[in-house]
Amino acid sequence: MREWATGTWLESRIKWVQDWAGSGRDLDNFLLTSPDPQLFPDPIKRSMRATIRSLADESLRAIISMPAFDMSEAAAAELGRRIPLIGEDRHATDGPGNRSRSLASLLGAAAGVPPGTGNA
C-alpha cells in the first residue's frame, strides 16, 4: 500500500498511522515525531485534552510548535504553569493593571526565550 501511495495524498496519512503504531500508541512518544495535527482523529484529540497535565514538557512544546493546532494555547498554559519565568512570581503580571501573562509570553517561556527578547 505504501508503494501505491507514494506521491499521493495518502502517503502522509500512511506515515502518520505508522508513526502512531510505532510509538506504541503513546502520546508522548508520538508527539515527538511531529505529526500533522490535521490528521488527529477526534478520539486522540479528546485523549490529549484529558491528559494534557500528564504530558511531558517536550510533548507540550511539540503541540505548541504545531501550526494552527487548537490545543496550542492549552499546551502553552500548562507548560507556563509548570515553568514560571525565572525571577518572576508564579502569579506575575505583564505590566500595569495586574493583567495575567499573555499567550505570547507563555509561548516564549515554553520555547525557552528569555523575557524581554524577541519581537514584543
For Cα atoms 101, 31, 47, give the angle at the middle one, nearest 5 degrees. Answer: 80
pLDDT band for position 34 (50/70/90)? Answer: confident
For helices 103-111 and 57-65, what crossing angle results, to 10°? 120
Around 37, how many Cα atoms within 13 Å sit in the side-chain half-sphere? Answer: 13
In this structure, what C-alpha cell is assigned to residue 50? 484529558
Residue 70 has pLDDT above 80, yes or no: yes
SS3 39: helix
User: What is residue 89's predicted lDDT score, i.e. its pLDDT?
Assistant: 52
In this structure, what C-alpha cell is assigned to residue 15? 506515515
pLDDT in tens, 10-32: 888 888 999 999 999 899 999 99
Residue 31 per-residue DSSP state: H
Q: What is the mean pLDDT of residues 73-81?
A: 92
Domain ranges of the chain: 8-82+100-108
